[in-house]
A and B are shown apart, each in its own frame.
Chain A
Amino acid sequence: MSNDASPNHMPPPADAPLLGHINIKLTDNNNELFFKVKPTTPFGKVMETFCKRQGKDLKSVRFLFEGQRIRKEDTCETLDVQDGDAIEVHQEQLGGT
C-alpha cells in the first residue's frame, strides 16, 4: 500500500539546514563572516572568499583555530571544527627596525 502523501516522503523544506554542514565564523576583531561548509571542504576556499570579501591579501593574513595555524588543505574534519566554532584572522606580524 503506497502512501505518497505521507510525511515521511515529503521533500525537505528549502529553509531546512543542510545535513552534514557546519556553520563557522571567521572574525578579524572588526568584521565577522559566517560560512556554511561541508566537513570535507578545504579551508583554502573559505580563506579565499573571506579575503575577497574583506579586501585583504591572502598571503598577509593568518587563520587560526584555537591558536593553531590553519592551512589551505585543512578541513573541518581534520581540525575537529564543530558547529559554531570561530576562526580568528590575524594580520601577519612584521618587524625590522
Chain B
Amino acid sequence: MPRIVLQPSFSTSHTVRLAKRARGITYPDWDLVAKNLNNLAKKGVTSTEKRSLSHAEKRSLTKAEKRAWKQQTVSHDSVEPREPQELAELEDTPLPSSTPQPTDASQPTDASHPTDASHPTDASQPTETLGPTEILKPSEFGHLDQILDTESTEPTEASKLPPSTKVAKPLKNLERYTEIPEPIESIEIVRHTGSKLVRKTEESQQLTTKSESPEPQDRVSCLQRKRQGSTPKKKRVQWSSQNEIRTISCVKSKTSSSTGTLSLDLSRVGSNTRSLTRIQIAASLSGNIPLLPPPTVGCSTADVLVGQRTVGSGRAMSAERVEQNSGLSVKEGACGSIKDTSSSRSLQERKSKRGSANANPSSLLLSSSKTAHDRTKSSRLGNQGSGAGSESNPITFKDEDEKAEKPVWQQGANGEALKQVLLEVEKGFAIAKSILAIVKVWLTITTTDVSLVVPTGQDFNAQCSLHDVMSLRKRRYLNDNAVDTLIALELQGHQRASHVHIINASDQFLMLNMKDEHADRIKQWFEKYQAWVKNSQITTIVAVINVDQTHWYAIKWDQSNMITVYDSLKGSNSPREEVTRLCNLIKTGAYNTPWGKLDANPRFEPSPVPQQSRFSNDCGIHTAMTVAQLAVDPISLIEPRDPSIRQQSAEKLCRALQEIQRTQEKDPDETSDEEFIAKLRNLIDGSNPATAKEMKLSVGKNKEKKKKGKGEKKKKKAKEKKEKKKQ
C-alpha cells in the first residue's frame, strides 16, 4: 500500500484525515471497494444477505484470514474516525473475503467476535505499514468523497436496505429528534462529509427504534403525547424550559350550581396573541372551585385549543369539542376568531372583524357589553390626552362612569350569571421558529373580590386578598398583607396581653416618609391615629421590621429601652437602622409618654429563635408566628416550629378565604334575625371563639345587606300592623 503525504492546500477535514494518513494508516483498495459495491448493486443483494454471506464466510475463514479482514476494517474505519456510525452503513460494502489482504500477524485483533468487525475497534492506533511514499492529489480525494457521496446521495442503495440493518446505531444528528416519541414521517439528516453538506431523507421508523427513543419528558406537551399514533408530521418544535407567569382573568358560574361553568377571557393574555395556541386548565370544574394551597395544583386538566397553528392538527378545536373534553362553556366561533388573527389576513378584514362586538378575537364567553365598556373607557381616557392628570387639568370621572354598572358577564346556558375567577397562567414560548406557544392555566384559587378581613382588636385589621395568598407559595417572598393576616389568624382564639402593642407590617409604610424634620406632623398624626400612646398600660411594643424589601424580622421593645431581636435568619446581623428609625418616630410622636423619655441609644439583644431552613424564604412566616406569640405572652420563649409551617399557614389562610366564599354565596336572608343576634352576642362575649371567628369573617361583608334586610322587614311589619289596626 502506498504511503500518503499531506497536501497542504486541502480543507480542514481533509487535513485531519490526511494527518492520520500521514502517520501511516493503511487504507483498503478503494477501487476494489467501489467495484464490489457496483457488482453487489447489480446483483441486487441486500445488506442482510451480504451480512449473512459475510458471517458464513467469516466462520469458514481461518484465523489469519479473519485477522486480515479485521485489519482491513480497522483501516477502513480510520478513514472517517469522526463518524463511525456512518460507517455502520458503509459497512454494507463488500467484505474482503474474496480478496483477503495480507496483514501483519502481530496485529491484535479479536477473532472470536467476527460480527464486531462492523464496529470500529480502535481507529486511533495506526497500523505501521511500509510502502512507497506517494502524494495524493485532490482528484483522488474527490474519488474518496465520491464514494461517500454515492453512498449518501443514492437513495436506491439505502432504501433497499431493511430497517433492522440500518438501525445498528442512530446517527448523531438524530439525537435531537429522539426526544419525541411519536413516529415521524421524515427527518432531514445533515451529514458532513468533507467540505460538503449532504442531505438525505430517510424514514424515521427505520431510524428510531423503541429502545432508542427515550420516554417523553415533561416539557414535551401533553398534546404531543396524545398524538402518538396519529398522523405524522414533519416539523418538530423544541420547547424551552423557561416559562413566565402571566395572569388572565377567567369567568365562573356565580350561582353554586353543581356543574360550574368555566370560561376564559383571553383579552388580557398579552399582545402576543398570535402565538397563543393552547390553554391548559387545571381546575376542579364541578361544584365550588376549591381553594388549594399553591403546591397542590390541579384537580382535572382540560385543554382548550385556540388558533390555527396548533401543534400538528393545524386547525382550532371546535367549541363543541372543547365543551365535551373539558366541560368548559365556550362561545361558538370564539376559537375561530383567534385563528383569524393568526392567519395571514389583510388588515382591513381584521379591522372589520374587530368592529363587530360579537367577534372579539381575544375573548371567550365575554359579553359584548364588557368589551364595549372597556373600549369606551379606554377611548375616554385616551381622549383626555397626555396632559390629563396635571394640576391644571385633573382627571375627572363623569357621571356615566359612576352610574355605569360593572361589566355584565354573559349568562350561562341555564341562565346563571358568571363571576370572575382569577387564574395564574404559566406561559411557555416555543423558541423554534416562534410558531407555537402554550399557555398553561395551572392554578385556580378563588374569586377576585374575596378578601379576608381579620380584626385583631384595636391595633389593626388585616386584609388579605388572593394576590397576598399567592405570596405564600413555596420559596416566595411574603408581602406585608400576608404577614399581617398570618399574625391576625394566629391571634384568633387567644387572649392578647393587655400591655403589648403590635406594630404590624403595614405600618412600615409610615416610616418611609416620616422624617425627623416633620416632627409637628408626626405628633399630630400620633394624636389622631395612635390612640395606644395614651394608654399607660402599654409597656411593650412588638414590631415587624422589613429590611430593604428583602427580609422580615421581629423586635420587642420595652420601657427599659431594651430591644430584643427575633431573627429567624442566622447571620443576617439584623440591620438596626430600621429599628432605630421606628424608635425615633415613636419617641417623637409619643413625646408625652414614657416612650418619649427613653434614651436615644437603646440596647440591642438577640434572642434565640427557631431558624428557617435554607433557601426556604420563610422569614415572613417565622416573624408572623413570633409576633403572635409575643403578643400573647411577651416573656415566653419562642417554641420550635414545624418545617412545613409555610404549607400549614397557606392552608389556614385558604380555609379562612373559603369560609368567606361560602358565606358570600349564602343568601343573607337565610339566617334569621334571631340567629344573627345570637351570633352577635357570641361575638361580643367571645364565649364561643369559633362562632366569633365566623361572625368576624362574615359580618364585614354581609353587614350592609343584613341592615337593609332588617330595615325592609321592619317596614313590612309596621305596614302590617297599620293594616291590622285599620281593619
Interface status of B361 (Cβ within 8 A of chain A): no
> What is the CA–CA distance of A33 and B506 in the complex, to the nearest angstrom?
23
**What distance in Å separates the Cβ of B502 from its nearest Cβ neighbour in chain A?**
15
| Per-residue interface assignment for chain B, residues 453 to 484, with 1 indicating a CB less than 8 Å from any chain A CB and 0 otherwise | 00000000001010110010001111111010
Contact present for A93 and B509 (CB under 8 Å)? yes
> What is the CA–CA distance of A45 and B620 in the complex, to the nearest angstrom?
31
Which residues of the other chain, B, contact A91 by a CB distance below 8 angstroms? 549
Which residues of the other chain, B, contact A41 by a CB distance below 8 angstroms? 397, 402
Interface status of A56 (Cβ within 8 A of chain B): no
Which residues of the other chain, A, contact B529 by a CB distance below 8 angstroms? 66-68
Give the B interface residue count (CB, 8 A): 48
Contact present for B402 and A67 (CB under 8 Å)? no
Quick one: which of A37, A41, A45, A97 has the most chain B CB within 10 A?
A97
Contact present for B395 and A33 (CB under 8 Å)? yes
Among the stretches B213-221, B386-394, B532-540, the one at the interface with A is B386-394
Contact present for A67 and B619 (CB under 8 Å)? no
Contact present for B381 and A97 (CB under 8 Å)? no
Instruction: Please tell me which one of the listed residues A52, A67, A94, A96 contacts residue B510 in the complex, with CB atoms under 8 A apart.
Output: A67
Which residues of the other chain, B, contact A93 by a CB distance below 8 angstroms? 479-480, 505, 508-509, 546, 549
Interface status of B551 (Cβ within 8 A of chain A): yes
Which residues of the other chain, B, contact A49 by a CB distance below 8 angstroms? 381, 395
| Per-residue interface assignment for chain B, residues 195 to 226, with 1 indicating a CB less than 8 Å from any chain A CB and 0 otherwise | 00000000000000000000000000000000
Which residues of the other chain, B, contact A23 by a CB distance below 8 angstroms? 394
Which residues of the other chain, B, contact A69 by a CB distance below 8 angstroms? 463, 506
Interface status of B552 (Cβ within 8 A of chain A): yes
Contact present for B390 and A95 (CB under 8 Å)? no
Which residues of the other chain, B, contact A38 by a CB distance below 8 angstroms? 397, 402
> What is the CA–CA distance of A67 and B524 in the complex, to the nearest angstrom?
12
Contact present for B394 and A94 (CB under 8 Å)? no
Which residues of the other chain, B, contact A88 by a CB distance below 8 angstroms? 509, 513
Contact present for B394 and A34 (CB under 8 Å)? yes
> What is the CA–CA distance of A95 and B578 in the complex, to the nearest angstrom?
14
Interface status of B258 (Cβ within 8 A of chain A): no
Interface status of A59 (Cβ within 8 A of chain B): yes
**What distance in Å separates the Cβ of A57 from its nearest Cβ neighbour in chain B?**
8
| Contact flag A36-B394 (CB < 8 Å), given A67-B509, A94-B478 | yes
Instruction: Please tell me which one of the listed residues A21, A52, A62 contacts residue B506 in the complex, with CB atoms under 8 A apart.
Output: A62
Contact present for B396 and A96 (CB under 8 Å)? no
| Per-residue interface assignment for chain B, residues 482 to 513, with 1 indicating a CB less than 8 Å from any chain A CB and 0 otherwise | 01000000000000000000000111111011
Interface status of B569 (Cβ within 8 A of chain A): yes
Contact present for B389 and A53 (CB under 8 Å)? yes
Q: How many A-B pairs fall under 8 Å by CB?
A: 107
Which residues of the other chain, A, contact B391 by a CB distance below 8 angstroms? 25, 32, 34
Quick one: which of A59, A60, A62, A64 has the most chain B CB within 10 A?
A59
> What is the CA–CA distance of A38 and B483 in the complex, to the nearest angstrom?
34
Chain A residue nearest in CB terms to B618: A96
Give the A interface residue count (CB, 8 A): 34
| Contact flag A95-B547 (CB < 8 Å), given A36-B395, A36-B396, A37-B397 | yes
> What is the CA–CA distance of A59 and B479 in the complex, to the nearest angstrom?
11
Contact present for A59 and B465 (CB under 8 Å)? yes
Instruction: Please tell me which one of the listed residues A35, A62, A64, A96 contacts residue B620 in the complex, with CB atoms under 8 A apart.
Output: A96
Instruction: Please tell me which one of the listed residues A25, A67, A92, A95 contacts residue B551 in the complex, with CB atoms under 8 A apart.
Output: A95
List residues 34-91 of chain A with CB under 8 A from any CB of chain B. Answer: 34-38, 41, 45, 49, 52-53, 59-60, 62, 64, 66-69, 71, 88, 90-91
**What distance in Å separates the Cβ of B119 from its nearest Cβ neighbour in chain A?**
55
**What distance in Å separates the Cβ of A16 from its nearest Cβ neighbour in chain B?**
13
Instruction: Please tell me which one of the listed residues B463, B508, B514, B550 contacts residue A96 in the complex, with CB atoms under 8 A apart.
Output: B550
Instruction: Please tell me which one of the listed residues A33, A34, A52, A60 contacts residue B381 in the complex, with CB atoms under 8 A apart.
Output: A52
**What distance in Å separates the Cβ of A33 from its nearest Cβ neighbour in chain B?**
4
Contact present for A45 and B509 (CB under 8 Å)? no
Contact present for A95 and B619 (CB under 8 Å)? yes
Contact present for B478 and A34 (CB under 8 Å)? no
Quick one: which of A25, A52, A53, A92 has the most chain B CB within 10 A?
A92
Chain A residue nearest in CB terms to B395: A35
> What is the CA–CA distance of A21 and B618 in the complex, to the nearest angstrom?
46
Interface status of B341 (Cβ within 8 A of chain A): no
**What distance in Å separates the Cβ of A34 from its nearest Cβ neighbour in chain B?**
4
Which residues of the other chain, B, contact A37 by a CB distance below 8 angstroms? 396-397
> What is the CA–CA distance of A91 and B465 in the complex, to the nearest angstrom?
16
Contact present for B463 and A71 (CB under 8 Å)? yes
Interface status of B658 (Cβ within 8 A of chain A): no
Which residues of the other chain, A, contact B477 by a CB distance below 8 angstroms? 94-97
Contact present for B395 and A94 (CB under 8 Å)? no
| Contact flag A97-B546 (CB < 8 Å), given A36-B395, A59-B465, A67-B509 | no
Contact present for B479 and A94 (CB under 8 Å)? yes
Instruction: Please tell me which one of the listed residues A25, A60, A66, A96 contacts residue B619 in the complex, with CB atoms under 8 A apart.
Output: A96
Interface status of B401 (Cβ within 8 A of chain A): yes
Interface status of B676 (Cβ within 8 A of chain A): no
> What is the CA–CA distance of A23 and B392 in the complex, to the nearest angstrom?
11
Contact present for A60 and B551 (CB under 8 Å)? no
| Per-residue interface assignment for chain B, residues 401 to 419, with 1 indicating a CB less than 8 Å from any chain A CB and 0 otherwise | 1100000000000000000
| Contact flag A97-B402 (CB < 8 Å), given A23-B394, A66-B529, A92-B480 | no
Which residues of the other chain, B, contact A96 by a CB distance below 8 angstroms? 475-478, 550-552, 617-620
Which residues of the other chain, B, contact A59 by a CB distance below 8 angstroms? 465, 467-468
> What is the CA–CA distance of A68 and B510 in the complex, to the nearest angstrom?
8
> What is the CA–CA distance of A62 and B396 in the complex, to the nearest angstrom?
22
Chain A residue nearest in CB terms to B620: A95
**What distance in Å separates the Cβ of B470 from its nearest Cβ neighbour in chain A?**
9
Which residues of the other chain, B, contact A71 by a CB distance below 8 angstroms? 463
**What distance in Å separates the Cβ of B329 from its nearest Cβ neighbour in chain A?**
27
Contact present for A90 and B512 (CB under 8 Å)? yes
Contact present for A34 and B619 (CB under 8 Å)? no
**What distance in Å separates the Cβ of A70 from its nearest Cβ neighbour in chain B?**
11
**What distance in Å separates the Cβ of B49 from its nearest Cβ neighbour in chain A?**
69
| Per-residue interface assignment for chain A, residues 1 to 44, with 1 indicating a CB less than 8 Å from any chain B CB and 0 otherwise | 00000000000000000100101010000001111111001000
> What is the CA–CA distance of A45 and B514 in the complex, to the nearest angstrom?
27
Which residues of the other chain, A, contact B393 by a CB distance below 8 angstroms? 34
> What is the CA–CA distance of A96 and B467 in the complex, to the nearest angstrom?
16
Instruction: Please tell me which one of the listed residues B401, B475, B510, B572 contacts residue A45 in the complex, with CB atoms under 8 A apart.
Output: B401
> What is the CA–CA distance of A88 and B275 in the complex, to the nearest angstrom?
39
19 CB-based A-B contacts, threshold 8 Å: A18-B396, A34-B390, A34-B391, A35-B389, A37-B396, A66-B528, A66-B529, A88-B509, A90-B512, A92-B481, A94-B478, A94-B480, A95-B477, A95-B547, A95-B549, A95-B551, A95-B619, A96-B475, A96-B476
Q: Which 3 residue pairs spanning A and B have beta carbons closest together?
A: A96-B617, A96-B477, A59-B467
With A35-B396, A45-B402, A62-B480 known, 4 other A-B pairs at CB within 8 A are A52-B381, A95-B477, A95-B547, A97-B572
Q: Which residues of A contact B (CB under 8 A)?
A: 18, 21, 23, 25, 32-38, 41, 45, 49, 52-53, 59-60, 62, 64, 66-69, 71, 88, 90-97
